[in-house]
């Protein structure tokens, strides 16, 4: 190697060494942050332990009894949700029918003790957001139908009958059943209520706050003409099969379950 080349190499290496030592000074530190968003679903319900409908007057049989705002439902949720009501009983007369607690002794062969759960009608004070976005999605916001005009309803279709899960399988209502808020399925804003709370309410109404009215209308004779099965789109009045049938006097019970469910 020539001397000149050795000199060039020396100069370059020296420059490299010197320049490397001049690297910009840096120091770094890290902090990790984690966030745990645990899902919270809260349904607050204000209601009497027992809502009683006592029919001891002819006008009550004819006009029915309505318990206005007997139940108040308040929702707070951090996730998308659906809210629905289910009519249930122990099924001591048959699944899907009211439980008979007391029989007042009418042994007429036409007096039947099987009163369909769907005779209970609900009305929510505010229309379901899903129904507002898509009117084909059903809720309980329609006014109770006037029994005096039932004859003009051809064919009659129930508008407020409670959803019944006769088999007790815990199956949520289908897309053709009624929801108080949200709806079946999870695709699209018209199928769920977004997370939120009634505590943020800034107006006199809120999609997170509902009052529920209850109506039972026995009719005369007591055949419960408003009872209706949405799944089969047919009347469930007591005299559907036997025109001479009527409800056996007695004490009957059922219960309403309100279910707040994460939409998924």
Quick one: 158 or 195, whose CB is closer to another protein?
Answer: 195
Query: Smallest distance, Å, CB 192 to another protein?
Result: 9
Task: Measure the CA–CA gap between 218 and 65, rounded to whole angstroms.
Answer: 9
Q: What are phi and psi of 124, to 5 degrees?
A: -95, 150
Nearest CB to another protein, comparing residues 232 and 264? 264
Tell me: does residue 40 bind another protein (CB under 8 A): yes
64, 87, 173, 195: residue in contact with another protein (rule CB under 8 A): 195
Establish if 8 lies at the interface with another protein (CB under 8 A). yes
**Under rule CB under 8 A, residue 169 binds another protein:** no
Shortest distance, CB of residue 185 to another protein, whole angstroms?
Answer: 11
Alpha-carbon distance of 41 to 83, in angstroms, equals: 11
8 Å CB contact between 208 and 216: no
Q: Mask 61-100, x = binds another protein (CB under 8 A)?
A: ---------------xxxxx--------------------
Which residue in 3, 25, 107, 155 binds another protein (CB under 8 A)? 25
Q: Sign of the CA dihedral 52, 55, 57, 63?
A: positive
Q: Is 45 in the site for another protein (CB under 8 A)?
A: no
Question: For residue 262, which of 190, 172, 200, 202 has the smallest C-alpha distance?
Answer: 172
Min separation Cβ 73 and another protein, Å: 16
Please state the closest distance from residue 209 (CB atom) to another protein, in A: 15
Of residues 3, 31, 105, 170, which one binds another protein by CB under 8 A? Answer: 31
Q: Cβ(105)–Cβ(135) under 8 Å?
A: no
Both tokens of 24, joined, read 């910009």
Binds another protein (CB under 8 A): choice among 196, 221, 249, 250:
196
Q: Which is nearer to another protein, 36 or 107 (CB)?
A: 36
Task: Give DSSP secondary structure letters for 162-230.
Answer: PPB-TT---PPP-TTSB-SBS-SSSSSGGG-BPSEEGGG--SS-BTTEEEEEEEE--TTTT--TT-EET
Cα Rg of the chain (Å, integer): 33
Q: CB-wise, 4 or 50, nearer to another protein?
A: 4
3-class secondary-structure state, position 250:
strand
Judged by the rule CB under 8 A, the positions of this chain that interact with another protein are 1-2, 5, 8-9, 12-13, 15-16, 18-40, 42, 76-80, 186, 194-197, 199-200, 262, 264
């Amino acid at each position: 190697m020539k001397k000149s080349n050795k000199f060039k190499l020396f100069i370059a290496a020296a420059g490299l060494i010197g320049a490397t030592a001049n690297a910009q000074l840096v120091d770094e530190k890290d902090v990790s942050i984690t966030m745990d968003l645990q899902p919270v679903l809260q349904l607050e319900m204000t209601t009497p332990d027992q809502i009683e409908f006592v029919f001891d007057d002819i006008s009550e049989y004819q006009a029915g009894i309505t318990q206005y705002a007997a139940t108040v439902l308040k929702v707070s949720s951090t996730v998308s949700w659906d809210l629905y009501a289910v009519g249930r009983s122990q099924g001591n007369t048959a699944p899907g029918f009211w439980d008979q607690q007391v029989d007042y002794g009418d042994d007429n062969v036409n007096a039947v003790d099987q009163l369909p759960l769907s005779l209970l009608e609900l009305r929510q004070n505010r229309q379901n957001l899903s129904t507002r976005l898509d009117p084909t999605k059903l809720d309980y916001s329609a006014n109770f139908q006037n029994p005096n005009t039932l004859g003009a309803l051809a064919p009659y279709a129930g508008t407020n009958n409670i959803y019944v899960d006769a088999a007790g399988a815990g199956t949520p209502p289908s897309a053709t059943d009624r929801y108080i808020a949200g709806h079946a399925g999870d695709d699209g804003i018209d199928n769920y209520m977004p997370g939120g709370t009634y505590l943020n309410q800034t107006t006199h109404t809120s999609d997170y706050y509902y009052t529920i009215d209850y109506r039972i209308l026995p009719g005369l004779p007591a055949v419960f003409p408003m009872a209706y099965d949405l799944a089969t789109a047919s009347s469930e009045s007591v005299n559907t099969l036997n025109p001479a049938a009527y409800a056996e006097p007695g004490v009957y019970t059922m219960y309403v379950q309100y279910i707040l469910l994460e939409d998924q």
